[in-house]
Amino acid sequence: MKLALVTGASSGLGREFVRQLDGEKDLDEIWAVARRKERLEELAGQCVHTVRPLALDLTQGENIRFLKDLLSRERPQVSVLVCAAGLGRIGKTWEISDRDNDAMIDVNCKAAVDVTSACLPYLGRGSRILEICSTAGFQPMPELNVYAATKAFLQSYTKTLHYELLGKGIHVTAVCPYWIKDTEFIPRAKEWEPRGFRHFPLASRARTVVRWALLDSRLNLWVSTPGPVCMVHRVAAKFIPHFVMVPLMDLLRRL
Ligand SMILES: NC(=O)c1ccc[n+]([C@@H]2O[C@H](COP(=O)([O-])OP(=O)(O)OC[C@H]3O[C@@H](n4cnc5c(N)ncnc54)[C@H](OP(=O)(O)O)[C@@H]3O)[C@@H](O)[C@H]2O)c1
């Protein structure tokens, strides 16, 4: 069985990945993972492929074990893995609770690594992994400190995995979008911190980001910057030192 496994599938990018992968003919099944079961079932009802809703909190060790057991029972060929589960919190470092910091680290870093490790034995030549990172990972970010650090971690992890799996013919891509306006991420990230980031100029749309990311993963790019803004950001962060880039990011968010 040829499988696509998508985390974060109950909304935003993850849901859009399921919809676009539903158009790929060489897949047999899609596993859609997130906590909100009813959202996953609704999505399954809209798809042509068999979509298996897996209502799992990926920060819980027993759920990772469940996923591993399921994979070892069914022994699919994982053709596409998308790790899109993630969350952010906007605010000064001292304003964000330990609980929220832990949640960002657990979902954005640990869950992505755990799910990827669980799938690795079932990937083969031509399989694709897309880890959803962020332009926030290109440099430290004021008012997004822990979030940006989690995305820098995931980007580094993904680049090394890309290199290690080159010889096996497995594509691994760190997808680094800029702000996206039509997912739940922004309202959730700023729900209790209305003063910091007010505007999200040039924010992209989930559909465009996913289309671009899937193309870049086919091309086996190790970093996908899905849109001109992300590309400019990436180039700027490469050449401008962090001691200039950090105050610049702080200034830009006030515009
Ligand atoms: N939107 C942006 O501006 C933006 C920009 C750059 C990068 N990104 C990254 O893109 C990815 C997708 O974000 P999005 O914009 O699509 O946001 P979103 O609409 O809020 O989607 C986040 C997804 O993660 C799932 N999730 C959160 N905690 C989970 C947990 N403990 N276990 C399992 N699933 C969990 C959520 O499902 P449940 O709540 O149902 O569990 C939801 O499906 C994230 O990694 C984010 O960091 C977003």
Does the beta carbon of 148 lie inside 6 Å of ligand 1?
no
pLDDT tops 80 at residue 255: no
pLDDT tops 70 at residue 208: yes
pLDDT of 201? 75
Output the CA 11–ligand 1 centroid distance in Å.
7
Give the integer Cα–Cα distance in Å for 38 and 16.
Answer: 16
Does the beta carbon of 59 lie inside 6 Å of ligand 1?
yes
pLDDT tops 60 at residue 194: no
Does the beta carbon of 150 lie inside 6 Å of ligand 1?
no
226 contacts 175 by C-beta, under 8 angstroms: yes
Give the integer Cα–Cα distance in Å for 110 and 120.
Answer: 15
pLDDT of 122? 98
pLDDT of 191? 73
Output the CA 233–ligand 1 centroid distance in Å.
21
Average pLDDT over residues 156-179: 98
Does the beta carbon of 11 lie inside 6 Å of ligand 1?
yes
Does the beta carbon of 8 lie inside 6 Å of ligand 1?
yes
Average pLDDT over residues 162-187: 96
Average pLDDT over residues 132-149: 97
Q: How many domains does the chain have?
A: 1
Give the integer Cα–Cα distance in Å for 31 and 40.
Answer: 10
Exposure string of 173-196, with b = 16+ CB inside 10 Å and e = fewer, is bbbbbbbbebbebbeebbeeeeeb
Domain membership of residue 172 as a residue range = 2-253
pLDDT tops 60 at residue 56: yes
CATH number of the domain that 183 lies in?
A: 3.40.50.720
Output the CA 243–ligand 1 centroid distance in Å.
29
Average pLDDT over residues 237-248: 95
Average pLDDT over residues 3-22: 98
Output the CA 87–ligand 1 centroid distance in Å.
5
- Residue 28: other Cβ atoms inside 10 A: 13
